[in-house]
Structure 1
Amino acid sequence: MAQANYTRITNYEVYFGWAKHYPQDWMILRRFENNGKPYLLLVNPQTLETKVNDAGFYQVKPMSMAEARKLFNSTPYQKALSKAESQSIAIQDAGIERGLPKETGISLTADLCPSHKPLDRRIFTDIIAGFKRVEPQVPIALSVSGLWMKHHVQDIDWLKQLQANHEIYITWINHSYNHRVSKTNPLKKNFLLEPGTDIKYEVLETEKLMLANGLLPSVFFRFPGLVSDQQLVYKITDFGLIPIGTDAWLAKGQQPQSGSIVLIHGNGNEPVGVNDFIKLLQSKAPSIAKKQWLLYDLRETVEEEAEVK
């Protein structure tokens, strides 16, 4: 079912709690009104799946984030939050960098940072062509920034059409609104670590714009430039979001291993990474045909990895 467009959002806020409706318990992440009607953004703590639903559909118990994390303590969602926090020291690439899929393969993430160039559509047409016989709906995670969404409405419509046609399944990752970057500032004062950054605005305005465009926010966040510090990682997990890094940024020459979370840029600014990915696809064609090398849904990858002690 296509995600609705919520174009008249008011009172959008971080709101945690327990939403009960037999047979599944959901954790509430946000509440908002659209056209005056109350809605909740929820996560299934077992599968990391998110959805938006009418607030009146659930029996709701409001909680603090600490209380909610305690209630859902043994779930893959809570374990993934804790794992990301435990890997929060590095200035670059904090968070979850790789998964442990059951078979060989990768999780593909493509970042859509602000860019005047059109979407690099080769990524999508090539993965659909490469996997159509073995994975009819190919999973891909797209890290989307607010400013990219504002200037790429036609590209968003094209991606939504691919999803509506069941050719790809997209997990939408929050990549901040402005994605500011300085060519001169050191990393510790760059990207979201730039002094004066309003992290609440960067996170929530991106989610609101996703919803207005008919995109479903996931529980994942990717730091612009993969740059953060420990304090920033905890600010992000306090929004209920799981930071996702990478162990294979292709344009930097990092080679993907089994279970890698691969990073390419789909915004037209990094053709070398896209070319490398297309070469990787071609080299894996025999393995793909035998279902020995597949693309994995990021949610399943992180859920499985969180389960491993």
Structure 2
Amino acid sequence: MANESSVEKNKRQLVMKQLILVYLFLVCGLFSFAQTSFVNLENYRTEWLILRENDRSLVGIRSFTSNAVKYYLTVDPTTLQTRVVGDRSVSVRYKDANQVNKSLKGSVYERCFSFVRKTENNLQDAGLNFSLPKEAGINLTIDLCPSHKPLDKAIFEDLLLAFRGVDGTLPLAVSVSGKWMLNHGADLEWLKSLAGKGIKITWINHTYDHVFNNHPLSSNFLLSKNTDLRFEVLENEKLMLKNGLMPSVFFRCPGLVSDRRIIEHLISYGLLAVGSDAWLAKGQQAKNGSIVLIHGNGNEELGVHDFIKLLQAESEAIKTKHWTLYSLSEGLDQNEH
């Protein structure tokens, strides 16, 4: 009997180990899905749908297939958070544009389009370009335009040092261009690894080519002759997804240059242009709630230097939690601009 009891005990332990392994496999599977790099991405296209996931609604702005499975890139109309969901986990509620727009009436997402349209005739700095939260702190945006120079890691390292022991999560936004990603694979992986150190990055589409010439602003950047805006937007999103980045609902125009046509096209893609009221390298001062712009591609030493000086100036306020970083979506639900 003692031997039988021992055998049964060993069997139970084996079963428990197997259950634990299954559980870990499932958890790791879910985690890896959240980090998925859609290398075999195909049939990428714009959509404008209301999807139902359990008891909540999501806005579908893109669809694509990967390994014969259909996916949607979605936006939560209240939080503005984006996620990729499989078509089996959602149902299509509305696909008619009028019905979708009616469903979004009064949402944070819909109000943000109104904010953007108020500045759509600006040649420069159209979009969300005003202070967001009222509390002390900034919305940090770091642009990665094409460059042969390495990533300016000091920005991120100094941030972690300044907030060490103060905040567990540091939100910031990185505007990434396709040509930068293609030439800085190791730097991109380093940026992705910062999630393990508490830095939460909102990835902003900064176009695929980031066209630049020596012409006046009215015929430069996205306003350059023969620029294909659809290509610049969608090809960069595809490249982001292939590299395991989650495209956000935000878009940064190169040079902050655009016109009404471009802003309206971005809106039709479900995207919100993000400007800046504090481009540090241009001498603009950061205020509470400012959307701060610096370049982390090695081409803007002055802006990086000014940002590090700002961190040093606010060091005591950071330690006492009276100055912090915000994500771009914070404050938009209360803002009445």
Q: Is the 8 A contact 1:99 1:301 kept in 2?
A: no
> Out of 269, 284, 289, which is 1:239 matched to?
269
Instruction: Tell me how far apart the structure 2 counterparts of residues 171 and 303 of structure 1 sit (CA, whole Å).
Output: 18
Between 1:131-140 and 1:189-198, the stretch displaced more is: 131-140
Distance in 2 of aligned mates of 1:3 and 1:300: 23
Shift of 1:82: 1.5
> What is the aligned residue count?
305
Hey, what's the Cα distance between the residues in 2 that align with 1:302 and 1:179?
A: 28
CA distance in 2, matches of 1:166, 1:78: 34
What's the offset of the Cα at 1:100?
2.8
The residue that corresponds to 1:215 in the other structure is: 245
> In the alignment, is the contact (CA less than 8 A) between 2:54 and 2:90 conserved in 1?
no
Deviation at 1:263, TM superposition (A): 0.1
Q: Contact conserved, 2:134 with 2:288, CA < 8 A, in 1?
A: no
Select 1:143's aligned residue among 161, 165, 175.
175
Counterparts in 2 of 1:89-238, with a 5 A limit?
Answer: 89-163=121-195, 165-183=196-214, 185-238=215-268
Structure 2: gaps spanning 5 or more residues: 1-30
Large movers: runs of 4+ above 4 Å: none
User: What TM-score do you get using the length of structure 1 for normalisation?
Assistant: 0.96
2:330 corresponds to: 300
Q: Structure 2: how far apart are the matches of 1:303 and 1:143? A: 22
Query: After superposition, what is the alpha-carbon deviation per residue over 1:144-191, rounded to whole angstroms, capped at 9, x for unaligned?
Result: 00111111111111011111x1420000000010001111x1111110
Displacement of 1:16: 1.1
For residues 331 and 176 of structure 2, what CA distance do their matches in structure 1 show?
20
Query: What TM-score does the superposition give when structure 2 sets the normalisation length?
Result: 0.88
Contact 2:131 2:277 in 1 (8 A): no
Aligned residues with identical type, % of pairs = 46
The runs of 5 or more residues in structure 1 that have no matched partner are none
Match of 1:26 in 2: 58
- Structure 1 residue 71, shift from structure 2 partner: 1.2
- RMSD of aligned alpha carbons: 1.3
Matched-pair contact (CA < 8 Å) for 1:16–1:65: yes
Give the deviation of 1:65 after TM superposition.
4.5
Residues 190/66 of structure 1: CA separation in 2 closer, same or farther (3 Å cut): farther
Tell whether the 8 Å contact from 1:65 to 1:238 is kept in structure 2 after alignment.
Answer: no
Match of 1:84 among 116, 120, 123: 116
Larger Rg: 2
Letter in 2 for 1:43: V
